[in-house]
Amino acid sequence: QILSKLRMKEAPNISRDTVKQLLPKAPPLQQLLDQYDVLGDDNKDVVLEDDDEHAITETIVMMAIEPDPVVQVEGEPKCCFFSFTQKFQASRIVRAQLWVHLRPADEATTVFLQISRLVPVTDGSRHARIRSLKIDVNSGVSSWQSIDVKQVLTVWLRQPETNLGIEINAFDSRGNDLAVTSAEPGEEGLQPFMEVKISEGPKRARRDTGLDCDENSPESRCCRYPLTVDFEDFGWDWI
């Protein structure tokens, strides 16, 4: 029944360790995981009144994929293209952040993080710079950096033909590129990704009239009882 609700025919053959490698090891993802770890079942008491209007927002995280060969020269660059579904509408974008992981620098330095728009190789120029950021970093310290790309995303959504991907560079004072843009050994989960918050508009919430009971409740009416499911007990460590 659970698989049916997940629209799956069978459990995927994937281990938790593999999932951890695939997930971005980045601040917003960690905050999200921590939030759900902390919430658990402690948020039962939240009751929404009738006629309350709630503006619902949804945060979507998209991993970068390889851009179309039309913008590549001898298979380069390998990163980054982001595909957007119909759910993304320019008027509903609340925030859009591009997250990039920087490798440690050999010395304290200033890093110039540059995002360039990829164009077809036949156009003569490879790319046009669209955003840049100057970052001071300490020696031997890796870090996640985010850059506001709401304006860029808005243009892509209104003119989809301009979205052929971007190239990301983060040059230090010696010209070394510190940006992680592919999954090299030891850098799994550190590839760039985009975090987009979308507004779903105000929605009416119904009063929660359900009864919560436990095994000691004398209640005879229809009632909600707690059910704890340990997925690891039946081998679902991919949850």
Alpha carbon 147 to chain centroid, angstroms:
14
CA distance linking residue 99 with residue 189, whole number of Å: 12
Region 85-114: mean pLDDT is 91
- Number of structural domains found in the chain: 1
Query: Is 221 domain-assigned?
Result: no
Confidence of residue 203 (pLDDT cuts 50, 70, 90): low
Q: What is the pLDDT of residue 41?
A: 45
Q: What is the pLDDT of residue 150?
A: 93
Query: Is 15 domain-assigned?
Result: yes
Starting at the earlier edge strand, list the strands of the sheet with 193-204: 53-63, 193-204, 93-102, 143-148
Query: Is 209 domain-assigned?
Result: no
Residue whose token pair is 């980045």: 26
Which of 115-119, 127-131, 220-224 has the weakest average pLDDT? 127-131
CA distance linking residue 68 with residue 64, whole number of Å: 12
At 203 the three-state DSSP class reads strand
Q: Are 93 and 196 in contact (CB under 8 A)?
A: yes
Q: What is the pLDDT of residue 39?
A: 47
Has residue 178 got a pLDDT over 90?
yes
Confidence of residue 149 (pLDDT cuts 50, 70, 90): very high
Which token pair is 64? 């970068």
Burial of 82 (C-beta count, 10 Å sphere; 0-12/13-18/19+): buried
DSSP string, 18-82: HHHHHS---HHHHHHHHHHHHHTTTTTT--PPTT-EEEEEEEEEEE-BPPPGGG-BTTB----B-
Query: Is 212 domain-assigned?
Result: no
Residue with more model confidence, 72 or 20: 72
Long-range contacts of 206-215 (CB under 8 A, 24+ apart): 206/48, 206/50, 207/47, 207/48, 207/49, 207/50, 208/46, 208/47, 208/48, 212/44
Query: Is 125 domain-assigned?
Result: yes
The CATH number that applies at residue 23 is: 2.60.120
pLDDT digits (tens, 9 = 90+) for 21-73: 666 666 666 666 666 554 444 444 444 444 444 568 888 888 889 999 988 88
Query: Is 27 domain-assigned?
Result: yes
Other C-beta atoms lying within 10 Å of the C-beta of residue 88: 19
Q: What is the pLDDT of residue 163?
A: 92
Region 87-95: mean pLDDT is 89
Query: Is 167 domain-assigned?
Result: yes
Which token pair is 140? 């031997």
Confidence of residue 19 (pLDDT cuts 50, 70, 90): low
User: Domain limits at 123?
Assistant: 1-37+45-203
Query: Is 227 domain-assigned?
Result: no
Looking at every residue in the chain, the average pLDDT score rounds to: 81
Alpha carbon 103 to chain centroid, angstroms:
20
Tell me the β-bridge partners of 167: 116
Confidence of residue 216 (pLDDT cuts 50, 70, 90): confident
Region 152-169: mean pLDDT is 92
